[in-house]
Amino acid sequence: MTQNLSIDSNRLWASILETAAFGATAKGGIRRLALSAEDAQVRAWFRSACEAIGCSVQIDSMGSMFARRPGRNPALAPIAIGSHLDTQPTGGKFDGVIGVLAGLEVLRRLHEAGIETEAPIELINWTNEEGARFAPAMLASGAFAGVFTEEYGHSRTDRDGIRFDDAMDAIAARGTAPLGHRLSAHFELHIEQGPILEEEGKTIGVVSGVQAIRWYEVTLSGSDGHAGATPMRLRRDALLGTARVIEAVNRIARAHAPDAVGTVGLIESKPNSRNVVPGDVFFSIDLRHPDDAVLAEMDISLRDAVAEIAAADGLGLALEQTWLSPAVHFDADCRARIAEAADAYGYGHRAIVSGAGHDSAYIARVAPTAMIFVPCAGGLSHNEAESATQNDVAAGANVLLHAVLATDRALGA
């Protein structure tokens, strides 16, 4: 019977549009930073929607939400569907959101079809995936997987100095469930956030893994000086040094084309006044490559380049690698079930490497895990104009449903 089951595309799409109101921006995107007032709104909506179909909702000490639909065999660890409802400061309506809401649609469909699975199904909203408010990204899924300690997670601060645990308490988002529990599998549907599926006309990406990521925080320190009266030869301009590092990051990424990427996304210059030579600049660097060894080479090139620039410009330098996420390879069985589900529907698919980090990258350390990608227009993401079609999102949700059911059958066999 479950072989012919499909999700309700219109209901899924309506839930995407409904929750997009929590933090909606004028340009059609979402600003819903982790543990903000807008995040509190969507979290309340999520709990209510899950409870309405008979799920119990538990929250762990990092604020991650677990909505559980019981199975026939309580001895089996749940099959998880997880992603995140937080967004970038100028994020879109799809990144993270469709993974959670497609999971909700799967639960709703199972509920109304009266299907009892062998294992419990657990729908998860991971806290602070984006890392936009609290670095590093994927903080709560990392804590769940034992990559970070709870103390580390709680003590992260945003750029205003607010601690993660205080932000959690400010919106009553802290739960009492213990951090980490067994999962039989973890599936995550996500937009590709890149151009490949669209370019090749494929509906489904069977994600083979996630590229390795390194994050850095850099401060260059020169000397504030009057912009009119400080001769060029006497300047120690931290922003000029930063400009040179930005150029170097671009050069290093392009030297490892086509797979490498390098980005300076965050910059804060002080005192940030029109007629003062900037004496102090703080900025972030993000380097990624599918191959750990190549990323390690890029790391060396980066450190050499930054040190050289700082020395040449007479600038003080503090460079800290704040995050290293090794390359991830997803579970073969889970990937096969995704490909089979896509074949059953006749959706075109291909294997693909994720350029972005995802909660699944950490959960893969503690449970069989895989991801499903669907195309997004122009590969655009972390952007208010981020866009995916109703048909593609529905296709991804159908694949998710059947990959979960196939996993459940395997557990029951």
Q: Which parts of 135-164 interact with a second copy (CB under 8 A)?
A: 135, 137
Q: How far is the CB of 131 from a second copy (least distance, A)?
A: 6
Query: Any contact of residue 382 with a second copy (CB under 8 A)?
Result: yes
User: In the complex with a second copy, which residue's Cβ is closer, 127 or 242?
Assistant: 242
User: In the complex with a second copy, which residue's Cβ is closer, 112 or 268?
Assistant: 268
Give dist(CA 33, CA 356) in Å, integer: 18
Q: CA 144 from chain center: how many Å?
A: 15
Residue 196, both tokens: 């490949």
Q: How far is the CB of 258 from a second copy (least distance, A)?
A: 6
What count of Cα atoms within 13 Å lies in the side-chain half-sphere of residue 83?
Answer: 24
Query: Any contact of residue 277 with a second copy (CB under 8 A)?
Result: yes
3-state secondary structure of 162: coil
Of how many residues is the chain composed? 413
CA separation, residue 233 to residues 223, 224, 237, 307 (Å): 13, 14, 11, 20
Give dist(CA 9, CA 326) in Å, integer: 36
Give dist(CA 260, CA 253) in Å, integer: 5
Q: Using the 8-state DSSP alphabet, how is residue 145 labeled?
A: T
Q: How far is the CB of 245 from a second copy (least distance, A)?
A: 8
Phi-psi map region of 301: left, alpha, beta (phi>0 left; psi -120 to 50 alpha): alpha
DSSP 52-87: TTT-EEEEBTT--EEEEE--S-TTSPPEEEEE----
Annotate each residue in 295-314 with x if it binds a second copy (CB under 8 A) or - if it does not, as one string: --------------------
Of residues 279, 338, 388, 293, the one with CA closest to residue 81: 338
Query: Any contact of residue 208 with a second copy (CB under 8 A)?
Result: no
User: In the complex with a second copy, which residue's Cβ is closer, 86 or 408?
Assistant: 86
Q: How far is the CB of 59 from a second copy (least distance, A)?
A: 26
Give dist(CA 292, CA 142) in Å, integer: 19
Q: How far is the CB of 216 from a second copy (least distance, A)?
A: 10
Number of residues that bind a second copy (CB under 8 A): 74
Q: Which of residues 223-262 bind a second copy (CB under 8 A)?
A: 223-234, 237, 239-240, 242-244, 246-247, 250, 253-254, 257-258, 260-262
CA separation, residue 28 to residues 31, 97, 308, 387 (Å): 10, 15, 43, 10
User: In the complex with a second copy, which residue's Cβ is closer, 20 or 253?
Assistant: 253
- Which of the stretches 62-70, 131-139, 175-183, 328-336 binds a second copy when contact is defined by CB under 8 A? 131-139
3-state secondary structure of 326: coil
Q: How far is the CB of 305 from a second copy (least distance, A)?
A: 13
Q: How far is the CB of 360 from a second copy (least distance, A)?
A: 14
User: In the complex with a second copy, which residue's Cβ is closer, 118 or 130?
Assistant: 130
Q: How far is the CB of 405 from a second copy (least distance, A)?
A: 29
Residue listed under structure tokens 């090139």: 301
Q: How far is the CB of 329 from a second copy (least distance, A)?
A: 17
Sign, CA dihedral 304-306-311-317, equals: negative
Query: Any contact of residue 316 with a second copy (CB under 8 A)?
Result: no
Among 19, 381, 398, 407, binds a second copy (CB under 8 A): 381
- Which of the stretches 101-109, 162-170, 276-284, 331-339 binds a second copy when contact is defined by CB under 8 A? 276-284
User: In the complex with a second copy, which residue's Cβ is closer, 19 or 354?
Assistant: 354
Give dist(CA 375, CA 402) in Å, integer: 19
Q: Which of residues 55-114 bind a second copy (CB under 8 A)?
A: 88-90, 95
Q: Which of residues 323-362 bind a second copy (CB under 8 A)?
A: 354-357
Q: Which of residues 178-197 bind a second copy (CB under 8 A)?
A: 192-195
Query: Residue 193, Cβ neighbours under 10 Å: how many?
Result: 20
Among 105, 118, 286, 359, binds a second copy (CB under 8 A): 286
* Residues paired with residue 214 on neighbouring β-strands, in sequence order: 287, 324
